[in-house]
């Protein structure tokens, strides 16, 4: 899309609707009008605190009972084996939480700890040392692996206690209004299995909302390739690129779509990784134990708790969880008719936000489920990695993503965050306390869009926030 200065917001709104040049995927998608059905046919007109928990509006009858069973596995509190509910036991020996829902709170997002004394209740810390694992992924820290498990079954020492400390940094809008942004620093206290290597890298991550993921999974790889612009050939200052990761579901290298750095290619693999790394559940895809030989209490506990046959997360539940993740509905946009929402959408595009937060994507005929095929929908992401500058950097590479690159976060459902989660902490580590702070943290490829926002008149900024609040 052509970059427009701030004044263009007021002078040239007509330019935004220009017809696309044939063959230009980006221009064609940009030219499609926004509709309140943000999730295409999967959309549901819901705006209550359980708005992220509904099945897709177009779900087939046959998928409804499967979805319900997937929901049961997602909200279950898992017990150590043998537990009172044989379907949902096998937790640990090391783990972060006892259920998926602990971090994907009401299918929305987690929140960061308030300070060093607070636990990571709905977030986690990834770790690695320089180098790559055999699949090209992050190089695990010896003994500890690639994620800290701060909890253990009885007799199994937790790996460490992540502590988060915040520092404030002040800034000003161009009109003089002051703001303050806060940044986390993570340390790993009480390591139970020896000191961490000096070059250990950490990355604090919030659980993300899990709506509309089946649609994101079904966008053809060819679209993402067409949207990526690694060398910034179109000269717009934005050079999104794909993360390419090893997918356990297909045993192939594929384009990454899930996680804050697009570090997972398929929901099947993402779910299995979550089950293992976050809750210690083995599965057919990852039939391994979390504990290393240097963690003997854990190895022993895992041996005792091994199911007689199958895995902690059995094949049937894995399949049901997959359908659940694929068919969660996207809530309908609210108040699209309000003038401030309409002006906000125009400004969102004119400021350059839509260059990464692509308003419209489409799925093709080949989708994971028929409900997801041939959909036009509005996720506000290009699923690509962007250099967001030093401010947001975690300095921890993840597959092809560098320490400064992040996947464009989808913005559908954003306006329901307060209602669903009772807070508005945003960004990968939850540092932003509201939408404006999230925007003000943008840098790197998004520096220009951020500056456009920071230097806009208050009325324009409020329109943008009204628009985002309607999503």
Contact positions toward ligand HEC, by CB under 6 A? 96-97, 100, 102-104, 123-124, 205-208, 210, 213, 238, 258-261, 263, 267, 270-271, 274-275, 278-279, 321, 325, 351-353, 355-357, 386, 388, 392, 406-409, 411, 426-428, 435, 438-439, 442, 445-446, 449, 453, 464, 468
- Smallest gap from residue 214 Cβ to ligand HEC (A): 10
- Smallest gap from residue 90 Cβ to ligand HEC (A): 11
CB closer to ligand HEC out of 37 and 405: 405
CB closer to ligand HEC out of 193 and 348: 348
Tokens of 422: 């009772």
Instruction: In whole angstroms, give the CA distance from residue 99 to residue 190.
Output: 25
CB closer to ligand HEC out of 300 and 434: 434
Q: Is the peptide bond before 82 cis (omega within 30 degrees of 0)?
A: yes
Other beta carbons less than 10 A from residue 319's beta carbon: 16
- Smallest gap from residue 292 Cβ to ligand HEC (A): 20
CB closer to ligand HEC out of 79 and 198: 79
Among 23, 36, 94, 104, which Cα is nearest to 271's? 104
User: CA gyration radius for the chain?
Assistant: 22
CB closer to ligand HEC out of 327 and 446: 446
Instruction: In whole angstroms, give the CA distance from residue 392 to residue 262.
Output: 16
Other beta carbons less than 10 A from residue 271's beta carbon: 27
- Smallest gap from residue 450 Cβ to ligand HEC (A): 6
Tokens of 258: 């899930």
- Smallest gap from residue 112 Cβ to ligand HEC (A): 11
**Cα angle: 381, vertex 384, 386; to 5 degrees:** 105
Residue 114 burial by Cβ neighbours in a 10 Å radius (0-12, 13-18, 19+): exposed
CB closer to ligand HEC out of 50 and 232: 232
CB closer to ligand HEC out of 86 and 296: 86
- Smallest gap from residue 8 Cβ to ligand HEC (A): 14
- Smallest gap from residue 466 Cβ to ligand HEC (A): 12
Residue 455 burial by Cβ neighbours in a 10 Å radius (0-12, 13-18, 19+): middle
Instruction: In whole angstroms, give the CA distance from residue 292 to residue 202.
Output: 20
Among 231, 252, 261, 221, which Cα is nearest to 408's? 261
């Amino acid at each position: 899309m052509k970059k427009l200065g701030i004044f263009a917001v007021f002078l040239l709104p007509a330019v935004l609707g220009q017809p696309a040049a044939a063959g230009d995927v980006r221009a064609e998608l940009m030219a499609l009008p926004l509709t309140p059905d943000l999730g295409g046919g999967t959309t549901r007109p819901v705006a209550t605190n359980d708005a992220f928990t509904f099945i897709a509006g177009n779900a087939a009858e046959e998928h409804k009972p499967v979805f319900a069973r997937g929901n049961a596995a997602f909200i279950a509190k898992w017990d150590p084996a043998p537990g009172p509910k044989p379907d949902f036991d096998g937790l640990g020996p090391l783990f972060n939480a006892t259920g998926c829902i602990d971090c994907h709170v009401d299918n929305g997002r987690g929140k960061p700890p308030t300070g060093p004394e607070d636990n990571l209740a709905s977030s986690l810390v990834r770790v690695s040392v320089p180098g790559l694992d055999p699949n090209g992924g992050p190089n695990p820290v010896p003994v500890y692996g690639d994620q800290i498990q701060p909890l253990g079954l009885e007799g199994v020492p937790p790996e460490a206690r992540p502590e988060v400390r915040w520092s404030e940094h002040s800034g000003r809008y161009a009109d003089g209004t002051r703001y303050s942004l806060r940044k986390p620093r993570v340390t790993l206290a009480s390591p139970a299995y020896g000191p961490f290597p000096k070059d250990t890298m950490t990355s604090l991550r919030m659980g993300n909302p899990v709506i509309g993921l089946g649609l994101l999974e079904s966008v053809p790889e060819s679209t993402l390739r067409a949207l990526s612009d690694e060398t910034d050939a179109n000269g717009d200052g934005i050079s999104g690129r794909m993360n390419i990761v090893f997918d356990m579901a297909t045993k192939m290298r594929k384009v990454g779509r899930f996680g804050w750095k697009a570090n997972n290619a398929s929901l099947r693999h993402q779910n299995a990784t979550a089950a293992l790394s976050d809750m210690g559940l083995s599965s057919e895809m990852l039939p391994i134990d979390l504990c290393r030989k240097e963690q003997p209490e854990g190895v022993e506990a895992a041996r005792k708790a091994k199911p007689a046959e199958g895995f902690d997360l059995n094949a049937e539940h894995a399949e049901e969880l997959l359908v659940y993740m694929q068919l969660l509905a996207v809530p309908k946009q609210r108040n699209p008719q309000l003038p401030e929402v309409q002006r906000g959408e125009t400004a969102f595009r004119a400021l350059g936000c839509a260059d990464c937060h692509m308003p419209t994507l489409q799925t093709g005929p080949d989708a994971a489920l028929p409900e997801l095929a041939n959909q036009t929908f509005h996720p506000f992401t290009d699923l690509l990695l962007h250099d967001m500058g030093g401010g947001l950097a975690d300095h921890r590479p993840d597959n092809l993503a560098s320490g400064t690159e992040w996947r464009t976060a989808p913005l559908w459902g954003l306006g329901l965050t307060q209602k669903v989660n009772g807070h508005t902490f945003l960004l990968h580590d939850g540092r932003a306390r509201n939408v404006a702070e999230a925007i003000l943290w943008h840098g790197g490829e998004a520096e220009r869009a951020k500056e456009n926002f920071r230097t806009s008149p208050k009325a324009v900024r409020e329109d943008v926030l009204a628009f985002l609040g309607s999503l």
